Amino acid sequence: MLDAIRWDTDLIRRYDLAGPRYTSYPTAVQFDGHVGTFDLFHALRESRKALRPLSLYVHVPFCANICYYCACNKVITKDRGRALPYLQRLEQEIQLIACHLDPAQKVEQLHFGGGTPTFLSHDELRQLMAQLRKSFNLLDDDTGDYGIEIDPREADWSTMGLLRELGFNRVSIGLQDLDPAVQRAVNRLQSLEETRAVIDAARTLQFRSINIDLIYGLPRQTPDNFARTVDEVINLQPDRLSVFNYAHLPERFMPQRRINSDELPMPAQKLEMLQRTIEQLTAAGYRYIGMDHFALPDDELAIAQEESTLQRNFQGYTTHGHCDLIGLGVSAISQIGDLYCQNSSDLNQYQNALASTQLATNRGLLCNADDRVRRAVIQQLICSFNVEFAEIEQAFNIDFRGYFGELWPQLQGMAEDGLIELNNERINVLPAGRLLVRSVCMVFDAYLEQQNRQRFSRVI
């Protein structure tokens, strides 16, 4: 792991393609309207019969202020009263889902995302957690991974105390950049002091893990001012860091149209930002997990990667990929066995469906046999940086070379370029190729040629 990543500018320029992030395979782009509530109920019944453990994702879409870079499903409003009708429908959804599951199915993982989950009042958060505990088997001994996304401008010591009391033990903090000029350009003014106060509270209250999100490629960023942000973040000593590449797609995400594209850094500057960030984080003892993620060596993600148990789902890298993922709220995605399904992304449609005591499931996908094989290969590549052919052959009763014969010339080309090591037993993603692992995964994506690549961000 000491040589987990090596910077190779020529390789990056050749393989820095636009493509999926593979939080699932097939990706959400392939979801369609042929999947509905009947499929969801069938999958829940299978989950119940197998008594599989659960991971819950709860989407809270509201934000008081708009961040111009944001591509999340959100509702911008200063009216805190808008949360009440949403929470009423969310509680209905919780009840409708829970009655198809067994109380013995433990919730090993819980995550509140958004939007801004702390947009909700303390009373609303209490009531929502009470409903979840009433309907699902949430652990009460602090052994579960129960996380929540925090905007430090929307949280203080009392908020952090409430979250800890409610059972949360992980926080993910949106920071993005500390430079005031960059913050003004993206309409997110947030001081280092605000962020430090939330982190200090989390440590004092014995939250188990702190993650910080950064974004490189924002307007007015330079390699020097972003390096200063990274230095300040290292001083905060988060357990994990997510360093995302900003994908400027104003044709898809309306708030991004407020960003002045002339102020965006040039591609060479973005590469320098990433290279310097990797050097800074590596020198500070962080390990590259993959796909923008870094963690300290004693973090659960780093340990899981060393033990080859790391997995990936719609919540990113996880040690709970064996759980059935139940998505609750507008736009939330569930992954139950071989079924992916997503709620309506329109707030009114979501609320109206539940007002009629119907679930808001409106699209999804049921994996076929080929999807399952390719999903396993991509999962191994993106989590462990290797694929052992014998494991895939044994799991799916195939001959790897024969099954993927038409891909072999592409893989051999990547091997000649030094991206991967390829032989008759395995694929190893080499240190110079690990930043580009998405490009290796894309070789195994059967749907990619049909898709509009402009929907996706570039690998770097």
CATH code, 395: 1.10.10.920
Phi, psi (degrees; rounded to nearest 5) at 293: -105, 135
For residue 302, tell me if it sits in a domain.
yes
For residue 114, tell me if it sits in a domain.
yes
For 313-362, how does the pLDDT look when each residue is reduced to its tens digit (9 = 90+)? 887 888 888 999 999 999 999 999 999 999 999 999 999 999 999 999 99
Residue 302 shares a structural domain with residue 422 = no
C-alpha dist (Å) from residue 330 to 166, 323, 374, 375: 23, 21, 29, 26
Residue 18 shares a structural domain with residue 54 = no
Output the pTM of the full model. Answer: 0.94
Residue 140 shares a structural domain with residue 285 = yes
Cβ atoms of 325 and 343 closer than 8 Å = no
Q: Which range has the worst mean pLDDT, 6-20, 66-80, 107-121, 198-212? A: 6-20
Residue 393 shares a structural domain with residue 308 = no
What's the pLDDT score for residue 299?
93
Residue 21 shares a structural domain with residue 32 = no
> Domain of 19?
1-25+369-460
Q: Where are the beta strands (DSSP E) in 314-419?
A: 316-318, 324-328, 333-336, 339-343, 361-366, 386-388
For 95-126, how does the pLDDT look when each residue is reduced to its tens digit (9 = 90+)? 999 999 999 999 999 999 999 999 999 999 99
Eight-state DSSP code of residue 64: S
**Structural domain count of the chain:** 2
For residue 136, tell me if it sits in a domain.
yes
What's the pLDDT score for residue 2?
44
Residue 21 shares a structural domain with residue 55 = no
Residue 284 shares a structural domain with residue 403 = no
Tokens 């960023």 belong to residue:
221
Question: Looking at 328, 343, 377, which one is the last position of a domain?
Answer: 328
Residue 65 shares a structural domain with residue 39 = yes
For residue 362, tell me if it sits in a domain.
no
For residue 364, tell me if it sits in a domain.
no
| Cα–Cα dist 35/186, whole Å | 37
For 401-430, how does the pLDDT look when each residue is reduced to its tens digit (9 = 90+)? 999 999 999 999 999 999 999 999 999 999
Question: Looking at 297, 328, 359, which one is the last position of a domain?
Answer: 328
Residue 300 shares a structural domain with residue 179 = yes
Cβ atoms of 19 and 442 closer than 8 Å = yes
What mean pLDDT is predicted for residues 6-34?
A: 90
Rounded to 10 deg, the angle between the 192-204 and 157-166 helix axes is: 40
For residue 351, tell me if it sits in a domain.
no
What's the pLDDT score for residue 291?
82
What's the pLDDT score for residue 399?
97
Q: Residue 263 above 70 pLDDT?
A: yes
For residue 113, tell me if it sits in a domain.
yes
* Cis peptide leading into residue 115 (ω within 30°): yes
Question: Looking at 328, 349, 384, which one is the last position of a domain?
Answer: 328
| Cα–Cα dist 345/83, whole Å | 16
- Beta-carbon contacts of 385 under 8 Å, excluding residues fewer than 6 positions away, are 290, 428, 429, 434, 437
CATH code, 75: 3.80.30.20
For residue 6, tell me if it sits in a domain.
yes
What's the pLDDT score for residue 312?
87
What's the pLDDT score for residue 452?
62
Cβ atoms of 182 and 145 closer than 8 Å = no
What mean pLDDT is predicted for residues 175-185?
A: 97
Phi, psi (degrees; rounded to nearest 5) at 264: -75, 140
Q: Residue 137 above 50 pLDDT?
A: yes
Structure tokens at 70: 């944001």
Residue 8 shares a structural domain with residue 118 = no
For 55-64, how does the pLDDT look when each residue is reduced to its tens digit (9 = 90+)? 999 999 999 9
What's the pLDDT score for residue 308?
87
Q: Residue 3 above 70 pLDDT?
A: no
Confidence of residue 134 (pLDDT cuts 50, 70, 90): very high
Confidence of residue 1 (pLDDT cuts 50, 70, 90): very low
Structure tokens at 192: 């280092």
What's the pLDDT score for residue 456?
72
Residue 117 shares a structural domain with residue 256 = yes
Residue 168 shares a structural domain with residue 20 = no
